[in-house]
């Protein structure tokens, strides 16, 4: 089991009010699964992804990533987990505007201490995998939305993480580009990458093999039986 | 590291105007410091050359009353000051720093020396031994200087320097002509000139006196003629020559000490002292240094303001790039990476400012030199130091913004619009 979240709670402090955002979320994902987390806007999907992605800590609950109790890690070790084990894809791409596609993709490799020559080779291969071998030296401003998101996917996958987290990856794209992204995810799924994709769009969610429904911070539909650890 | 530097240049280049304005404080501060330091060094060099005269390593030792020189014509021959004997002179010549020494006596030449009806006003009359001209680096321009025959025969002969020759003879050749010294006829046997002409820049009254003392023309007669002109037992003055300019102070002091040891005066204010040009040069340098210290403080404040400007822009830059920082942290960049990136950026920015400042400062110094006719000396260590100092300013003032960037919460940062 790659993800095992048990009884996760997350509260936000707003002024003096405590706002509960996630309420008793328990979720297991097996290695190689392709899961969509679906729910209306404001239901807590991004909050859940931040916890899964080691960007945030829950108020209560336990979380194991590939069998490791991740919550006892310090911030420094958390960055190392994000670098090696998790790839992120965001709705708004988050590419560095002054860097070429190749440089954007190579960025995580430089944090991993990979040598310059190898960085370029591996970044180039990652761009080939998303079909952008002829756009390597383009700046983000010279790319379409769909192409930008493919660069972002190449960047997410360049360190060969076990887990790909995508938050509304097609949210800023037209339906044709969105479809291409879904085809890419399908390919990655076939290669054995575990994918957790967040969306509020039913049509997009239907590309996944399992759909988890979340409403108002609670899981209403798990897509399979809940196992207690 | 190199990657960070390259990216910093990219960032600076993509915001040319803003980067330039940010660097301006640093550029102005560094340029001012470089210009000031270059002119100080140049001016000091010039003051030294002016006062000492290049290659003329002469020190005069004479009687002083308190802080001023003791003038025989006004104060009379002092009690308890013996005439300096050959033995004492030998003792002075034996001092390590002293290369050679000679004794002389002197008077203002006003109303004293005439050629026909032309008098020598403002000049001096010297009674000298025959070695005097060697010690003082005089060259014989025409005729000859005193020899043993002139001394032993008590001949009434005189030597002119080029200034007195010009003043008395107006371009005529004076050799063989007769002049009157205190109404006695003296035959001019030669004209001498200084091997290095002393051409001071006159800035103060002191400079003026010094110039007047040495520059308005001198008439030399043999020392043995002095009692016939002014009377016996007049204590002499001493002129020294040294090998190295740095030895002038020590040689002057040691010689004055020797002469003072033979004094039997009741008034302790009456002493031999060296007229120490090197020390006077240093005093003037100290004066200019203290005004320049003030200027350097002002430049320093400009650098401080420049540094705060850099901090301000870096804080703006961190806010602008919140999303970029959030993304980098999300995909696994450690705090130290973000810290390093922003510190490098600040350091590159200010180093570049420092470099431009050095260039502007050198240009400024050259312009000052052209306008005022003073020397400038550009010092490479000062230039390198200025750039390094600018880099340190960048690191110090970049610390707060970089720390802020490194500690951004990636979730908030990614959400930031
Ligand atoms: N940092 C925060 N402080 C306070 N409230 C927050 C914060 N982040 C998210 N929320 C609230 O949590 C709820 C869920 O947000 P989010 O997880 O982004 O929803 P979704 O991604 O499903 O649209 C929202 O009501 C949002 O206002
Ligand atoms: Mg969301």
Q: Nearest C-alpha of chain A: how many angstroms from B322?
A: 11
B327·A83 Cβ contact <8 A: no
Rounded distance, CA B279 to CA B287, Å? 12
- Give the residue, A121 or A221, on which the prediction is more confident: A121
Confidence of residue A3 (pLDDT cuts 50, 70, 90): very high
Which has the closest alpha carbon to A56: A65, A48, A44? A48
Q: Whose CA is nearest to atom 2 of ligand 1?
A: A12
- Give the residue, A119 or B246, on which the prediction is more confident: A119
Rounded distance, CA A121 to CA A126, Å? 9
Name chain A contacts of B332, Cβ cutoff 8 Å. Answer: 79-80, 82-84, 108, 111-112, 159
Q: Nearest C-alpha of chain A: how many angstroms from B414?
A: 8
Phi, psi dihedrals of residue B136, rounded to the nearest 5°: -90, 15
Supply the DSSP string of A7-39, one letter for each residue. Answer: EEEEEEEETTEEEEEEEEEEEEE-TT-EEEEE-
Name chain A contacts of B329, Cβ cutoff 8 Å. Answer: 79
Name chain B contacts of A73, Cβ cutoff 8 Å. Answer: none
Q: Percent of chain B having pLDDT more than 70?
A: 88
User: Contact at 8 Å (CB) between A4 and A28?
Assistant: yes
Element (H, E) at A219: strand A218-221
Partner B contacted by A107 (CB < 8 A): yes
Question: Lowest mean pLDDT: which of A198-212, B139-153, B212-226?
Answer: B212-226
A229 within a domain of the structure (yes/no): no
Question: Which 8-state DSSP code applies to residue A60?
Answer: E
Q: What is the CATH number of the domain that holds A132?
A: 3.40.50.300
Total count of domains within chain A: 1
A227 within a domain of the structure (yes/no): no
A111·B333 Cβ contact <8 A: yes
Residue B196 has pLDDT above 70, yes or no: no
Question: Which 8-state DSSP code applies to residue A1?
Answer: -
Question: What are A218's strand-pairing partners?
Answer: A215
Residue A77 has pLDDT above 50, yes or no: yes
Confidence of residue B198 (pLDDT cuts 50, 70, 90): very low
What value does the mean pLDDT take over residues B75-81?
82
What atom in ligand 1 is closest to the CA of residue A43? 22
Rounded distance, CA B260 to CA B61, Å? 11
- Give the residue, B197 or A221, on which the prediction is more confident: A221
Taking residue B328's Cβ as centre, other Cβ atoms within 10 Å add up to 25
User: Contact at 8 Å (CB) between B229 and B184?
Assistant: yes
Residue B200 has pLDDT above 50, yes or no: no
Residue B211 has pLDDT above 80, yes or no: no
Element (H, E) at A6: strand A3-14
A228 within a domain of the structure (yes/no): no
Confidence of residue B210 (pLDDT cuts 50, 70, 90): low
What does chain A come to in residues?
229
Q: Are strands A210-215 and B113-115 parallel, antiparallel or unpaired?
A: unpaired
Angle B224-B225-B230 (CA atoms, 0-180°, nearest 5)?
A: 115
Rounded distance, CA A137 to CA A133, Å? 9
pLDDT at B116: 86
Q: Percent of chain A having pLDDT more than 70?
A: 98
Which of A61-75, B42-56, B274-288 shows the highest mean pLDDT?
Answer: A61-75
Average pLDDT, rounded, for chain B: 84
The terminus-to-terminus CA distance of chain B in angstroms comes to 29
pLDDT at B236: 87
What's the complex ipTM? 0.93
Partner B contacted by A108 (CB < 8 A): yes
CB of A46 closer than 6 A to ligand 1? yes
How far are the Cα atoms of A152, B198, B289, B291 from residue B280, in angstroms, in the given order?
74, 16, 14, 17
A226 within a domain of the structure (yes/no): no
Residue B22 has pLDDT above 70, yes or no: yes
Rounded distance, CA A10 to CA A61, Å? 9
Which has the closest alpha carbon to B264: B79, B40, B90, B5? B79
How far are the Cα atoms of B330, B347, B410 from residue B355, in angstroms, in the given order?
36, 12, 36
What value does the mean pLDDT take over residues A178-187?
95
- The residues, any chain, with a CB within 8 Å of residue A23's CB and separated by 6 or more, are A9, A216, A217, A218
Taking residue A95's Cβ as centre, other Cβ atoms within 10 Å add up to 25
- Cα(A175) to centroid of ligand 2, in Å? 19
Q: Percent of chain A having pLDDT more than 90?
A: 93
Phi, psi dihedrals of residue B119, rounded to the nearest 5°: -100, 165
Rounded distance, CA A227 to CA B399, Å? 50
For residue range B309-323, list pLDDT tens digits in order: 999 999 999 999 999
What atom in ligand 1 is closest to the CA of residue B411? 1
What value does the mean pLDDT take over residues A45-50?
95
Which of A90-99, B161-170, B194-203, B268-277 shows the highest mean pLDDT?
Answer: A90-99
Helix ranges (H only) for chain A are: 45-52, 75-85, 101-111, 116-129, 145-157, 175-190, 202-205
What value does the mean pLDDT take over residues B66-90?
83
Question: What is the SS3 string spanning chain B?
Answer: CHHHHHHHHHHHHHCHHHHHHHHHHHHHHHHHHHHHHHHHHHHHHHHHHHHHCCCCCEEEEEEEECCEECCHHHHCCCCCCCCCCHHHHHHHHCCCCEEEEEEEEEEECCCCEEECCEECCCCEEEEECCCHHHHCCEEEEEECCCCHHHHHCCCCEEEEEHHHHHHHHCCCCCCCCEEEECCEEEEEEEEEEECCCCCCCCCCHHHHHHHHHHHCCEEEEEHHHHHHHHCCCCCCEEEEEECCHHHHHHHHHHHHHHHHCCCCCCCCCEEEEEECHHHHHHHHHHHHHHHHHHHHHHHHHHHHHHHHHHHHHHHHHHHHCHHHHHHHHHCCCCHHHHHHHHHHHHHHHHHHHHHHHHHHHHHHHHHHHHHHCCCCCCCHHHHHHHHHHHHHHHHHHHHHHHHHHHCCCHHHHHHCC
CB of A55 closer than 6 A to ligand 1? no
Residue A82 has pLDDT above 60, yes or no: yes
What value does the mean pLDDT take over residues A93-122?
94
What value does the mean pLDDT take over residues A26-35?
95
pLDDT at A89: 96
Rounded distance, CA A140 to CA A95, Å? 7
| Residue pointed to by tokens 């103060």 | B204
Phi, psi dihedrals of residue A13, rounded to the nearest 5°: -90, 115
Which has the closest alpha carbon to B22: B348, B349, B301, B322? B349
Q: Which of A44, A205, A217 has most ligand 1 atoms within 8 Å of its beta carbon, as the pocket-test mutant?
A: A44
Rounded distance, CA A106 to CA A114, Å? 9
Partner B contacted by A26 (CB < 8 A): no
Rounded distance, CA B57 to CA A106, Å? 71
- Cα(A13) to centroid of ligand 1, in Å? 11
Residue B207 has pLDDT above 60, yes or no: no
Crossing angle of helices B16-52/B2-14, nearest 10°?
100
Residues 117-136 of A with CB under 8 A from B: none
How far are the Cα atoms of B182, B314, B349, B396, B404 from residue B400, in angstroms, in the given order?
83, 9, 16, 8, 6
- Give the residue, A4 or B243, on which the prediction is more confident: A4
User: Contact at 8 Å (CB) between A102 and A113?
Assistant: no
Question: What are B242's strand-pairing partners?
Answer: B98
Residue B246 has pLDDT above 70, yes or no: yes
What atom in ligand 1 is closest to the CA of residue A45? 22
For residue A211, the enclosing domain spans 3-221
């Amino acid at each position: 089991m790659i993800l095992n979240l048990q009884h996760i709670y997350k509260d936000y402090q707003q002024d003096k009010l405590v706002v509960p955002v996630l309420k008793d979320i328990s979720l297991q994902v097996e290695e190689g699964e392709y899961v969509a987390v679906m729910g209306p806007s404001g239901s807590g999907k991004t909050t859940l992804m931040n916890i899964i992605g080691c960007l945030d800590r829950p108020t209560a609950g336990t979380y194991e990533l590939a069998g490791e109790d991740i919550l006892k890690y310090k911030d420094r070790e958390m960055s190392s987990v994000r670098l090696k084990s998790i790839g992120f894809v965001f709705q708004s791409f988050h590419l560095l505007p002054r860097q070429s596609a190749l440089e954007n993709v190579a960025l995580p490799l430089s944090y991993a201490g990979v040598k310059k020559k190898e960085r370029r080779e591996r970044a180039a291969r990652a761009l080939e995998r998303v079909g952008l071998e002829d756009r390597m030296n383009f700046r983000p401003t010279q790319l379409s939305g769909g192409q930008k998101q493919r660069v972002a996917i190449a960047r997410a996958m360049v360190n060969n993480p076990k887990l790909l987290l995508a938050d509304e990856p097609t949210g800023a794209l037209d339906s044709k580009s969105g479809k291409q992204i879904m085809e890419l995810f399908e390919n990655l799924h076939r290669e054995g990458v575990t994918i957790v994709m967040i969306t509020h769009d039913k049509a997009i969610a239907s590309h996944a093999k399992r759909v988890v429904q979340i409403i108002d911070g609670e899981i209403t539909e798990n897509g399979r039986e809940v196992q207690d650890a | 590291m190199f990657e960070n530097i390259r990216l910093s240049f990219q960032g600076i280049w993509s915001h040319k105007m803003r980067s330039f304005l940010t660097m301006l404080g640093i550029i102005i501060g560094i340029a001012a410091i470089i210009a000031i330091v270059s002119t100080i060094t140049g001016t000091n060099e010039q003051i030294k050359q002016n006062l000492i005269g290049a290659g003329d390593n002469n020190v005069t030792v004479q009687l002083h009353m308190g802080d001023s020189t003791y003038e025989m014509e006004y104060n009379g021959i002092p009690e308890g000051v013996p005439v300096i004997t050959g033995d004492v002179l030998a003792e002075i010549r034996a001092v390590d720093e002293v290369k050679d020494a000679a004794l002389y006596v002197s008077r203002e030449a006003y109303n004293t020396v005439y050629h026909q009806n032309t008098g020598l006003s403002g000049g001096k009359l010297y009674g000298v031994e025959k070695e005097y001209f060697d010690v003082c680096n005089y060259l014989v321009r025409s005729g000859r200087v005193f020899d043993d025959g002139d001394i032993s025969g008590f001949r009434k002969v005189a030597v002119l320097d080029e200034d007195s020759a010009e003043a008395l003879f107006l371009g005529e050749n004076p050799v063989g002509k007769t002049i009157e010294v205190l109404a006695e006829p003296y035959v001019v046997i030669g004209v001498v000139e200084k091997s290095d002409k002393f051409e001071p820049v006159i800035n103060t009254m002191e400079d003026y006196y010094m110039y007047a003392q040495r520059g308005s023309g001198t008439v030399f007669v043999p020392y043995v003629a002095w009692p016939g002109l002014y009377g016996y037992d007049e204590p002499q003055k001493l002129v020294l020559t040294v090998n190295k300019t740095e030895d002038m102070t020590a040689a002057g002091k040691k010689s004055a000490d020797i002469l003072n040891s033979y004094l039997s005066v009741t008034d302790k204010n009456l002493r031999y002292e060296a007229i120490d040009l090197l020390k006077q040069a240093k005093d003037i340098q100290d004066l200019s240094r203290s005004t320049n210290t003030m200027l350097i403080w002002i430049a320093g404040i400009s650098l401080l303001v420049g540094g705060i400007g850099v901090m301000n822009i870096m804080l703006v830059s961190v806010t602008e790039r919140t999303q970029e920082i959030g993304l980098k942290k999300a995909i696994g960049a450690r705090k130290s990476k973000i810290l390093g990136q922003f510190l490098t950026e600040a350091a590159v920015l200010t180093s570049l400012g420092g470099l431009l400042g050095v260039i502007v400062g050198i240009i400024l110094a050259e312009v000052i030199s052209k306008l005022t006719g003073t020397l400038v000396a550009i010092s490479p260590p000062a230039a390198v130091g200025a750039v390094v100092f600018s880099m340190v300013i960048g690191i110090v003032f970049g610390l707060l913004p970089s720390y802020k960037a490194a500690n951004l919460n990636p979730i908030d940062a990614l959400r930031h619009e």
